[in-house]
Amino acid sequence: MALQVPQRDRLRRLRHAGVSIWLDTLSRELLETGAFAALIAEWSVTGATSNPTIFAKAITGSDRYDGRLRELASAGIRDPQTLFLELALADVGRAADLLRPVYEATSAQDGFVSLECTPDLADDTEATIAQARDLWQRLDRPNVMIKVPATDAGIPAIEALTAAGVNVNVTLLFSVARYEQVIEAYLRGVEQRVADGRSVDAIASVASFFVSRIDAVADRQLPAGSDLRGRVAIANAQRAYALYAERFRGDRWRLLLDAGARPQRPLWASTGTKDPAYPDTLYVENLIAPDVVNTMPEATLRAFAGHGEVGPGLSDNASEADATLLRAAEAGVDLPALTAGLERAGVRSFCDSYRDLLGCIERKLAAA
């Protein structure tokens, strides 16, 4: 697990460029073997995320959870969702404890781990709020975030949870138009706390913009050989970063900043390349900017450590991105329809993974 000096330097340069490196996976194996602690110590990892697909792979592909499942079942707990949340809360809590020194060393700017609300609630605002608050209270750590999807129902939940002092990681975010709603929900939540005389300096939030999935669809809509292939997702992200820079400036934000508020940082998710023809560091090297997070699969993290380069990255000027997206639209890419479809497909995919996960837990209980 120990890195050679050049590999360490690449990751350090990435962090010095303003990018927080979070791991796009979490499992009991990573935690129990010391691998996660080594990633923090040697690989510049300062956070981690989880989702139903990640936990489904972790629990179905390992026997490390079986003993705890038997203990819980012996105590009379047989509901698969209750069992899953017990297992997930334990992993996320342990990861948060390992990341706590990062959180403290960065003055609460970094060192977070996220747990997602169950995807069956993605279209239910009140149920999302209730479950998110319950998970937040049960974890009882300042360096955790609760993931809430950027669906129609998720937007008011983001505002309500922020106002309640819950750290929110907004997930399944694809379109810039939806991102604008997410930023507005966060700002309104912070403003509500300020108006109520409550502190805002401990609130942290990120907006997880999914990247490679956009190219996976857009490339199929572009003519063969088009020079726009592999560029639509990056242009979309650059437009999002420009919106972030715009909204977290000006008089409205300065009032909140003076009250101690922190900006809701953009997070680049789904940054492993899906097309083997593209460089394996494509969505890291081209998305470098101050105050962003990049959640990398472990393979992408290792690839960047091995041969990644820290170049100029993103600009907060969207003119080049707008020109690229205009050309893509003229070539047949309907970006609004594409991103709306990806949002719904993401919800369905997480629901499928969640059902598989619950089924796996039921099978493990039956075998025990």
Give catalytic residues, as residue numbers.
147
Instruction: Count Cβ atoms below 10 Å from residue 330 Cβ, excluding itself.
Output: 9
* DSSP assignment of 150-176: -STTHHHHHHHHHHTT--EEEEEE--H
Instruction: Count Cβ atoms below 10 Å from residue 47 Cβ, excluding itself.
Output: 26
Q: What are the distances in angstroms from CA 288 to CA 144, 150, 216, 276?
A: 24, 23, 21, 21
* DSSP assignment of 31-43: HHSSHHHHHHHHS
The closest of 228, 238, 229, 304 to 272, measured between CA atoms, is 304
Cα–Cα distance measured from residue 264 to residue 362, given in angstroms and rounded to the nearest whole number = 38
Task: Give the tokens for residue 36.
Answer: 């996660």
CB 272 within 8 A of CB 295: no
